[in-house]
Structure 1
Amino acid sequence: MKGVILAGGTGTRLRPLTDIVNKHLLPVGKYPMIHYAIAKMAEAGVKELLLVLGKHSAGLYMEYIGNGRRWGLEVSYKIQEEAGGIAQALALAESFVRPDQKLLVLLGDNLFEDSLKEAVLWFERQPDGAHVFLKKVPDPHRYGVPVLQGDHISTIVEKPEQPPSQYAVTGIYLYDARVFDYIRMQNPSARGEMEITDVNNVYAGQGQLTWTLLNGWWTDAGTHRSLQEAAARLMGSEES
């Protein structure tokens, strides 16, 4: 299982903090935000990790993370020259993954409590497909929302006015290597980005998109409020 952390983007919702440094290097509790995503990868059993970065602060990432030895990982880097969506960033990992391998993908601003190890072990035994992680939220209209059909998802609706369920699709994904073919099939959305929801819906249309519900806390630390809440949670868990 290869690991990919997507840590590009401009962090516009966190300005002016992100005028100084990329958002994934902002402190959350005792560590920079990116530290927690790397630790989750190591805990899940990943040994080889690719970080996809924007140009902003790329040198600081390499100075802090280095080759990944402190996490027991082998870390390499790719630069996303300009923001073009999650799927575009993931496409940069194609040369990192063999056709017979699977990959665990994390968005670097997703902070969460649950271990991914069991789901990763289960997915490694599956012949093919994709798997996403859901969280029950009070405001699903802000996210991609799944239409559930037993242990599969029939489709994901992006930011619906009338959500079909109370769940959000988080920025935690498992894929087989066909994901890169499916990315190439997509066109940019109305906002000019390659959307990961469109890619996930290819798997959903084939009946090959399964899901796990996160039981612990989860946040996408992309706003000042969510960044503060994540710091409080992580400081509490580190001190307990």
Structure 2
Amino acid sequence: MKGIILAGGTGTRLYPLTKLVNKHLLPVGKYPMISYGMERLRFAGVTDLIIVTGKMSAALFTEYIGSGQQFGMRVTFSIQEEAGGIAQALSLAEPFLAPGEKFVVLLGDNLFQEDITPYVQSYLEQGSGEARVLLKKVSDPRRYGVPVFDEVKQDYIVRIEEKPKQPKSYYCVTGIYMYDTEVFRHIHSIAPSARGELEITDVNNVYAQADRLKYDVLKGWWTDAGTFDSFNEAAIKLRGVQL
């Protein structure tokens, strides 16, 4: 099974650190941020990895990661010429996947404690053309995409509301997604948002509306490490961790 780490973006919420280096290469604990996502995927059995990043950072990523051999992985890089949203970045991995192939997608600033192997296995047992997302219970869901659950069909989401003023639950959709190559057809079918980007929430809602979006809930800690508060929180939790 292949994995995809999306490690582009400008990281404006971590400026001025990100003026010098891509946020996914900033040190968290003893290692660059991206190392933790790579290790979590490898532990789940993913050894074939595609990393999507911006052209300004490509040389730094290849210098650190190389072929991926030192991480026990085989790594391919895909370059995002300009910011176009998470879904647009994901679409750049399409040429590296066989028709119908299943894969795991991880946003590179998502750091988490849990072994996702059981969730990956559950997705492999799902039917083709379906998707799976991982959720986490949070104190302020208004900052995130919030799932609305199906009251009849357990483990299914009927829609995701992006940054709602009145959230329907205390759960958020984390940046851990599982798809097969059907996702690229959905990406090509959606329109850019008001900010001119292809939003992953819109893609997930295509699945939700078709009763094809299942979920699991993370039990351990999780953070998106995209702000100074969450970045510092992650550094504390990962202090002394040995990969």
TM-score, normalised by the number of residues in structure 2: 0.96
Cα offsets for 1:154-197 (capped at 9, x unmatched): 00000000001100000000001100000000100011110000
Structure 2 counterpart of 1:209, which letter?
L
Contact in 2 for aligned 1:21/1:56 (Cα 8 Å): no
Aligned mates of 1:177, 1:233 — CA distance in 2: 35
Paired-residue identity, %: 59
Q: Which residue of the partner structure matches residue 74 of structure 2?
A: 74
Q: Which residue of the partner structure matches residue 204 of structure 1?
A: 208
Question: What is the CA-CA distance between 1:100 and the residue it aligns to?
Answer: 2.3
What is the root-mean-square deviation in Å for CA atoms of aligned residues? 1.2
Question: What is the CA-CA distance between 1:206 and the residue it aligns to?
Answer: 1.0
Aligned mates of 2:87, 2:118 — CA distance in 1: 25
Aligned mates of 1:90, 1:57 — CA distance in 2: 17
Aligned mates of 2:222, 2:92 — CA distance in 1: 26
Aligned mates of 1:238, 1:164 — CA distance in 2: 38
Correspondence 1:145 to 2:155: no
The 5 A counterparts of 1:154-169 are 154-169=158-173
Aligned mates of 1:160, 1:90 — CA distance in 2: 25
Moved over 6 A (4+): none
Question: What is the CA-CA distance between 1:71 and the residue it aligns to?
Answer: 2.1
Q: Which runs of 5+ in 2 are unaligned?
A: none
SS in 2 for 1:4: strand
Q: Which residue of the partner structure matches residue 232 of structure 2?
A: 228
Cα offsets for 1:48-72 (capped at 9, x unmatched): 1100011222111101101111222
Q: Bigger shift: 120-129 or 199-208?
A: 120-129
Cα offsets for 1:29-61 (capped at 9, x unmatched): 000001111111101111211000112221111
After superposition, the Cα gap between the structure-2 partners of 1:79 and 1:220, relative to the gap in structure 1 and judged at 3 Å, is same
Q: Which residue of the partner structure matches residue 134 of structure 2?
A: 133
Q: Which residue of the partner structure matches residue 89 of structure 1?
A: 89
Cα offsets for 1:12-44 (capped at 9, x unmatched): 000000001000000000000011111111011
Q: Which residue of the partner structure matches residue 102 of structure 1?
A: 102
Question: What is the CA-CA distance between 1:97 and the residue it aligns to?
Answer: 1.0
SS in 2 for 1:41: helix
TM-score, normalised by the number of residues in structure 1: 0.97
SS in 1 for 2:4: strand
> How many pairs are equivalent?
239
SS in 1 for 2:238: helix
Aligned mates of 1:108, 1:82 — CA distance in 2: 17
Q: Which runs of 5+ in 1 are unaligned?
A: none
